[in-house]
């Protein structure tokens, strides 16, 4: 599955699954202000997911809408990157995930804002502003933890080490996409490297490179996430309230 539909579906799935994961921090964040901040970032991701999945449904032309794509697909039909489906772990792991995701989404949405597809350009113009905030928020915490106590530094470095292998899948070629993900790698690397340097953290060496999310090959974590996310819709199909 290639072309604009696959590309748009993948971005929508990225945002949807990221929103679900971040929402799991509600009432569990280390500070009340952070609890609200993560909930707001989750809502931003959900808003992006709705825009992207609605457009993907139109491109597909199979009579499905955003809800059908979100709630009535099995894990092998999802095209999100593996990064977003990984468990939250501790707070440092979540901030490492958010740093990598937002450092990718910001140049991606910026590039989309200038693409030939008017719908994707409009979505990119809106979501890049939100992604800039997400990146600033993640970078603040990565610097705060990395340059903090010995324990905070240890946990933040461990979070970066755990998340980093999943970054490479984000830049794999997608035939027919309006933006070539590979062209975003330079901006991503410079952004992340600058944050890690300020945080006195070490950029992990490249090694194991997991992939497959864009082809519907996922970890077991996605199945459990979808079971929780989709249960109400599947239990009461077609319900209105």
Going from the C-alpha of 98 to that of each of 22, 41, 138, 227, the distances in angstroms are 9, 10, 6, 23
Token pair 């901006």 in the structure block, residue: 187
Q: Which CATH class is domain 3-203+212-235?
A: mainly alpha
DSSP characters for 124-138?
A: HHHHHHHHHHHHHHH
DSSP characters for 51-74?
A: HHHHHHHHHHTSS--HHHHHHS--
Q: What is the C-alpha to C-alpha distance for residues 131 and 105, in angstroms, rounded to an integer? A: 6
Q: What is the pLDDT of residues 11-51, one digit of tens each?
A: 999 999 999 999 999 999 999 999 999 999 999 999 999 99
Going from the C-alpha of 122 to that of each of 21, 115, 127, the distances in angstroms are 26, 9, 9
pLDDT for the residue numbered 210: 96
Query: What's the whole-number average pLDDT of the chain?
Result: 96
Q: What is the pLDDT of residues 80-98, one digit of tens each?
A: 999 999 999 999 999 999 9
- pLDDT band per the 50, 70, 90 thresholds, residue 1: low
Residue 146: count of CB within 10 angstroms of its CB: 26
């Amino acid at each position: 599955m290639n072309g604009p539909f696959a590309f748009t579906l993948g971005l929508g799935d990225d945002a949807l699954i990221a929103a679900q994961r971040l929402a799991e921090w509600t009432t569990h964040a280390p500070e009340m202000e952070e609890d609200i901040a993560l909930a707001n970032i989750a809502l931003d991701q959900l808003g992006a997911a709705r825009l992207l999945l609605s457009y993907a449904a139109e491109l597909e032309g199979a009579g499905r809408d955003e809800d059908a794509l979100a709630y009535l697909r099995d894990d092998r039909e999802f095209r999100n990157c593996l990064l977003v489906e990984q468990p939250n772990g501790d707070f440092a792991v979540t901030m490492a995930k958010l740093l990598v995701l937002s450092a990718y989404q910001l140049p991606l949405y910026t590039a989309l804002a200038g693409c030939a597809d008017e719908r994707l350009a409009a979505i990119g113009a809106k979501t890049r502003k939100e992604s800039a905030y997400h990146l600033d928020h993640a970078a603040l915490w990565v610097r705060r933890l990395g340059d903090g106590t010995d324990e905070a530094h240890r946990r933040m470095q461990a979070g970066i080490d755990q998340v980093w292998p999943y970054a490479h899948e984000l830049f794999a070629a997608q035939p027919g996409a309006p933006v070539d993900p590979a062209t975003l790698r330079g901006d991503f690397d410079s952004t992340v490297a600058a944050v890690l340097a300020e945080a006195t953290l070490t950029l992990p060496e490249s090694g194991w490179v997991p992939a497959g999310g864009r082809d519907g090959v996922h970890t077991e974590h996605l199945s459990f996430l979808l079971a929780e996310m989709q249960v109400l819709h599947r239990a009461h199909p077609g319900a209105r309230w």
